[in-house]
Amino acid sequence: MHTHTAMSPSVPLQEMIRAIRSARTQCEERGVIQRECAAIRAQFRQADNGGRSHNLAKLLYVHMLGYPAHFGQMECVRMIASPRYSEKRVGYLGAMMLLDEKQDASLLITNSIKNDLSHSNQYVQSLALCTLACMGSAEMCRDLAPEIDRLLRASNSYIKKKAALCAVHIVRKVHELGELFVPAARSLLSEKNHGVLHGAVVLIIELCEQNPETLERFRKTVPDLVQIMKGLVLSGYSPEHDVAGISDPFLQVRILRLLRILGRNNEGASDSMNDLLAQVATNTDSTKTVGNAVLYETVLTVLDIKSESGLRVLAVNILGRFLLNNDRNIRYIAMTSLQKIVGTDHNAVQRHRGTIVDCLKDQDASVKRRALELSLALVSASNIRSMMKELLLFLSSCPPELRAHAASGIFNAAERYAPSQRWHIDTMLHVLITAGGDVRDETVPNLIQLITNASELHCYTVHKLYRALLLDISQQSLVQVACWCIGEYGDLLLKGDCQETEPVQVTEDDALDALETVLQSHMSSPATRGFALTATMKLSTRITDNVDRIRSIVSIYGSCIDVELQQRAVEYNALFRKYDHMRAAVLERMPVIEKNSPGHTNGESTGEAVKDVPTAKMKQGEPLLLQQPANQVCDLLDLLGGSEETLQPGPAVDCLVSGLSVHAAGTAGGDLLDLLGGFEPAELSPAPQVLAYDKGGVTLTLSCEKQSDTGLTVTLTASNSSDSDLSSFTLQAAVPKSVQLHMKAPSGDSLPARGTAKVTQMVVLNNPNKVNLKMRVRVSYTRQGSPFQDTVQIDSFPGLDAAGQ
Amino acid sequence: MIRFMLMVNRQGQTRLSRYYQPVELSRRAQLEADVVRCCLSRRKDQCSFVDYKDFKLVYRQYAALYVVVGVTDNENELSVYELLHNFVEVLDKYFSRIMFNLDRVHIILDEMIQNGHVVETNKSRVLAPLTALDKMADG
């Protein structure tokens, strides 16, 4: 099996490489390498035999393949000290690859490096420089820094350029030494040799990044840098530095980066570069990648410094052109850059929206991801319909790893800019149908809440969901919402007529069949089955003929293995048997669910009827919420036999009335709620706050306190969550004729941004005739120099019942 | 700055590796395997820049050889892309076919990239010391 004899010591590197490559298995390769290493080790122990550099080279190759080679470290040290160049060369290479400053052996080469730095042969000097730059420890750097500085000034360009980069390493290791190199770096800028210039620019960048004071000093070099750039851009063809028609693009890119660092946050420096940047942007040939590389760096610089707006627009247009480029690399980086500026230069980026949206269809996954993020950032109220079409199209064909992100982005956009409720519901349904498996958990309660709010769309929604359910019951979130709606609005489903969609006859059996299919299917998760069971139960009050069928379904599940389902079934069974007189009330249509806070699922929205009536603590409401129809609440009260006066529903204003309904339900339905257990009737907190007004970031909340039989103190609190300060903020109030009003002095008249301080004002009311209390409040303020006024009517006051008593 | 440079063939075997930011030996194999897998699995119509962990990969394919470079986030990817091409052109100029002599390649690499930054991009200047060395070796 082992056909190789011991290798002779002078076998060249190529032989060994060939031998290793011809090994057919990992095991065979390891065998070859072990033999080689043994031979090399033996060779190292022998005296100098002229083949040492070969052996070390072989060892380095073995090391590169991942095998241990630490026994070669001392050999490196020895070779570095050798007078022969070939041996020095391999020795230094070995040092760079095998040694780092943690190894003890690295200390031993310090002396060699020191000597070689002043060697007569420049190639030896360069070896030492290279190695020092690669693995020099802080000690070595401190020791040799003056030497490097000397080399920076007094040697030929070959050495200077290497010394410059060595200085970069030194400065990184020992920050304080930066000071030492500043003068040398400065003078290097007047060199003609591009290699040296390049090194100098890199060194200056490093110095500026380390120390802001140094950066200040180097700002004075901006004119010099501009000159150099001009020379590069405008000079004719120079064979030495030409790369595809551009003169030394690498140096250009480097200088542009330094200009960026110097111009950041500094008006003066930015001004002096303006012309140059415009020149580079317009004169650079963009047909080849090289040119585009320079243009890209220019764009990055323009966007980072304090450039004038014309230049910024030019930069964004270049990015726009990149988006149309055939080369996908260029499209990708254009997207990345646009992503960074979409916040600050939003309008400029909007102009390229069409191209960005087209990139959603690109083949490359990275480009698609960028396009998705950009598209979501560009959605606004004016383009929401067309953008959503594109986004939904994208969702149906997008790669699976982007689905969740796309779905949540679409939901956010829909929530912020939905032009109508029907559109909003349609969009959410579409997403659930396409990508239901990838949406977040709170989507289901959010959608349900949305649906309950759109009362005139209940019929349309339930029909649509029913149809979707018939087609496909695998998407859990969709199925859950559909079951909930069928349960809740089953009567509308069965009625059959609906203006929005074509009428379809749905019989009671059909609806129950659909729900039963969900209950029995393997694909339904336990939560979904819970939804379906509750929906079935709710239908018992909405249908007339098939109540027995429901009774039997419910009793079957009374012995279900799933504990949650079993518990529900047992409870519902009890509802049928012992509490049948309560059944209609318990399963009555739910009132509108209020959104307490983003992400809050508002208890279990699985239809546990009255248990879900929200608490009285009011939080910020959504502007899209409709005025809650008060008639629903009245039905509830009637059923419970309450003797409350009927509520006066006020005109639709930005005012939440639900606090009141909860209060009413709480007192009258006490026994019912006790029966179901666990629900606290809403207690009147001493001074409940109601949100009276919310527009443009300005919110107004009020709380009331009864002082006497007819007297009342209302406290108005205003705060400003927008990004601009408001001044001359005043409130005026008007009340019905017989009510007396006295406004106390406000706490202040300015509302700083982002809610850092509030303004409060007390209003004392006296209502001797005990009329229905209403108050109209006018809000006026000045925002950024322009005055603004608005009026809001308050019809109900927390802490009082409807009659204002 | 450039963190590392690799040349790998289609089978994933490393032909050349150079690290400008120290990486432990044990982790190198893992890193190289990961990176190579990433690049080899990309199709023709995908772009040459990949976001990998906290840095970027820029790669180019030349026949059966892939040249892969890992760069830090603030680097201009197009510029690095061009640099790779420049490097391969220099190699091409010196050797009749690539990878004939590994330590020579290292010398060329050192002439072009030092410490993770570009030193020299002019082909003749890069090769000048090498031709001088060759003369010295003969003499």
Instruction: Give percent of chain A above pLDDT 90.
Output: 5
Of B79, B86, B119, the CB nearest to A195: B119
Instruction: Measure in Å the smallest separation between the Cα of B122 and chain A Cα atoms.
Output: 6
User: Quick check: B45 and A363 CB within 8 A?
Assistant: yes
pLDDT at A628 over 70: no
Buried b (16+ CB within 10 A) or exposed e, B66-93: bbbbbbeeebbbbbbbbbbbbbbebbee
> Among B27, B115, B127, which would you mutate to test the A interface (most chain A Cβ atoms within 10 Å of its Cβ)?
B115
With 70 as the cut, is the pLDDT of residue B101 above it?
yes
Which pLDDT score, from 0 to 100, does residue A259 have? 92
Q: What's the whole-number mean pLDDT along residues A450-477?
A: 82
Instruction: Please calculate the CA angle A796-A799-A801 and round it to the nearest 5 degrees.
Output: 60
Which stretch of A8-12, A440-444, A623-627, A749-753 has the lowest confidence by average pLDDT?
Answer: A623-627
Token representation of residue A520: 């029995």
A165 in contact with chain B, both atoms CB, cutoff 8 A: yes
A651–chain B nearest CA distance, Å: 56
Predicted confidence at residue A687, as pLDDT, reads 56
- Euclidean distance between CA atoms A469 and A518, whole angstroms: 9
Model pLDDT, residue A168 = 92
- CA dist A414 and A404 (Å) reads 15
The residue that leads in pLDDT, A278 or A617, is A278
* Contact map slice: A 237-266 vs B, CB within 8 A: 240-241, 243, 248-250, 253-254, 257
The amino acid occupying position A661 is S
> Residue A203 — pLDDT band, cuts 50, 70, 90?
very high
Separation of CA A509 from chain center: 47
Chain A neighbours among B 70-89 (CB < 8 Å)?
76-79, 81-83, 86
Q: How far is B1 from chain A (nearest CA, A)?
A: 10
The dihedral through the CA atoms of A190, A196, A198, A201 has a sign that is: negative
**Does the distance separating the beta carbons of B76 and A366 come in below 8 Å?**
no
* E strand or H helix at A717: strand A711-720
pLDDT value of residue A799: 62
- The mean pLDDT of A704-718, rounded to a whole number, is 81
Residues 6+ apart with CB under 8 A from A211: A175, A178
Task: Identify the three-state secondary structure at position A388.
Answer: helix
Query: What's the CA gap between B119 and A167, in Å, rounded?
Result: 13
Q: Give chain B positions within 8 Å (CB) of A370.
A: none
Task: Locate A353 and state its tokens.
Answer: 């929206």
Q: Beta-carbon neighbour count of residue B18 at 10 Å?
A: 20
The 10s digit of each residue's pLDDT in A58-111 is 888 888 888 888 888 888 888 888 888 888 888 888 888 888 777 777 778 888
Q: Do A198 and B119 touch (CB under 8 A)?
A: yes
Burial class of residue A535, CB neighbours in 10 A (0-12, 13-18, 19+): buried
Smallest CA–CA separation between B70 and chain A, in Å? 16
Which residues in chain B are contacts of A86 at CB distance < 8 A? 137
Rounded Cα gap, residues B39 and B32, in angstroms: 11
Six token digits for residue A602: 């508002």
Residues B65, B7 contacting (CB under 8 angstroms): yes
Please report how many Cα atoms fall inside a 13 Å half-sphere around the Cα of residue B80, on the Cβ side. 28
* Cβ proximity of B5 and B118 under 8 Å: no
Q: What is the DSSP letter of A28?
A: H
A501: pLDDT confidence band, cut at 50, 70 and 90? low
What mean pLDDT is predicted for residues A225-238? 83
Q: How many interface pairs between A and B have CB atoms less than 8 angstroms apart?
A: 128
Task: Answer yes or no: are the C-beta atoms of A362 and A387 closer than 8 Å.
Answer: no
Q: What is the pLDDT of residues A377-401, one digit of tens each?
A: 888 888 888 888 888 888 888 888 8
- Burial of A321 (C-beta count, 10 Å sphere; 0-12/13-18/19+): middle
**Any idea which of A115-119, A254-258, A564-568, B101-105 has the lowest mean pLDDT?**
B101-105
State pLDDT tens for residues A124-150.
888 899 888 888 888 888 989 999 999
- The chain-wide mean pLDDT, for chain A, equals 78
Q: CA-CA distance, A4 to A19, in Å (whole number)?
A: 10
Q: What is the mean pLDDT of residues A6-13?
A: 56
Element housing A124 (H / E): helix A122-135
C-beta atoms of A364 and B133 within 8 A? no
Residue B80 structure tokens = 């690095």
| Predicted confidence (pLDDT) at residue A606 exceeds the cutoff of 80 | no
The residues, any chain, with a CB within 8 Å of residue A601's CB and separated by 6 or more, are A441, A442, A445
Answer whether A290 sits within 8 Å of B82, measured CB to CB: yes
Residues of B in contact with A161 (CB under 8 A): 119-120
pLDDT in tens, A759-792: 888 888 888 877 778 888 888 888 877 888 888 8
Beta bridge partners of B61: B66
Count CB atoms within 10 A of the CB of residue A412. Answer: 12
The residue ranking higher by pLDDT, B39 or A100, is: B39
Out of A61, A162, A333, closest to residue B119 by CB: A162
Beta bridge partners of B92: none
> What DSSP letter does each residue of A138-187 carry, written as one string?
HHHHHHHHHHHHHHHHHS-HHHHHHHHHHHHHHHHH-GGGHHHHHHHHHH
What pLDDT is stored for residue A256 in this prediction?
92
| pLDDT in the model for residue A255 | 92
CA distance A373 to A359: 11
Instruction: Test B129 with A292 for CB contact under 8 angstroms.
Output: no
Residues, chain A, total? 805
Q: Residue B114 is nearest to which of A133, A248, A290, comparing CB atoms?
A: A133
Optimal mutation site among B36, B117, B126, B131, interface A, most CBs of chain A within 10 A: B117
Residues 353-382, chain A, touching B (beta carbon < 8 A): 363-367
pLDDT at A279 over 50: yes
Nearest chain A residue (CA) to B138: A86
pLDDT tens figures, A342-387: 888 888 888 888 888 888 888 777 788 888 888 888 888 888 888 8
State how far the Cα of A134 lies from the Cα of A146, in Å rounded to an integer.
18
Question: How many Cα atoms occupy the beta-carbon half-sphere of A312 within 13 Å?
Answer: 17
- For the four alpha carbons of A103, A104, A107 and A112, in that order, the dihedral sign comes to negative
For the segment B46-83, what is each residue's pLDDT rounded down to a tens digit?
778 888 877 888 998 888 888 999 998 888 888 888 88
The winner for highest mean pLDDT among A13-17, A357-361, A704-708 is: A357-361
What is the DSSP code (8-state) at residue A751? Answer: B
CB contact under 8 A, A329 and B125: no
ipTM confidence: 0.72
The tokens 């518990």 sit on which residue?
Answer: A567
Q: Inter-chain contact B47–A289, Cβ cutoff 8 Å? A: no
3-state helix, strand, coil in chain A (%, to 5): 60, 10, 30
Q: Which residue of A has its CA nearest to B115?
A: A134
Residue B120: pLDDT band (50, 70, 90) is confident
Question: Which of A57, A296, A365 comes nearest B103 by C-beta?
Answer: A57
Pick the more confident residue, A183 or B75: A183
Task: Please report the residues numbered 186 through 205 in chain A whose beta carbons come closer than 8 angstroms to any beta carbon of chain B.
Answer: 194-195, 198-199, 202
pLDDT digits (tens, 9 = 90+) for A649-675: 333 322 333 333 333 333 444 344 344
DSSP string, B42-110: --TTS-SEEEETTEEEEEEEETTEEEEEEE-TTS-HHHHHHHHHHHHHHHHHHSSSTTS-HHHHHHHHH
Long-range contacts of A585-589 (CB under 8 A, 24+ apart): A585/A636, A585/A639, A585/A640, A585/A672, A586/A610, A586/A672, A586/A676, A587/A537, A587/A538, A587/A540, A587/A541, A588/A541, A588/A635, A588/A636, A588/A639, A589/A488, A589/A632, A589/A635
**CB-CB neighbors (< 8 A) of B48 in chain A:** 329
B132 vs A123: CB contact, 8 Å cut-off?
A: yes
CA A78 to CA A408: how far, in whole Å? 63
Nearest CA in chain A to B46: A364
Estimate the crossing angle of helix A73-80 against helix A52-64, to 10 degrees.
Answer: 140
For residue A294, give the DSSP letter. H
**Amino acid at site A690:** V
Report the pLDDT averaged over residues A689-700. 80
Does an H or E element contain A405, and which?
helix A400-417
Residue A681: predicted pLDDT: 41
pLDDT of residue A50: 67
- DSSP 8-state symbol, B1: -
**Are residues A366 and B121, on separate chains, in Cβ contact within 8 Å?**
no
Shortest Cα distance from B76 to chain A (angstroms)? 7
This prediction has a pTM of 0.62
**Contact residues on chain B for A297, CB-CB shorter than 8 A:** 76, 79
Residue A791 has which token pair? 């009026």
Residues of A in contact with B120 (CB under 8 A): 161, 195, 198
Of the candidates A323, A364, A288, A296, the one whose C-alpha atom is nearest the C-alpha of residue B48 is A364
- Kindly tell me the sign of the dihedral angle through the C-alpha atoms of A8, A11, A13, A15: negative
As a dihedral over the C-alpha atoms of residue A734, residue A739, residue A744, residue A749, rounded to 10 degrees, the angle is: -10
Count of CB atoms situated within 10 Å of the CB of A159: 20
Tell me, what's the pLDDT at A167?
Answer: 92
Please return the burial class of A612, using the count of CB atoms within 10 Å of its CB with bins 0-12, 13-18 and 19+.
middle
| Per-window interface: A 267-306 vs B, CB < 8 A | 289-290, 292-293, 296-297, 300
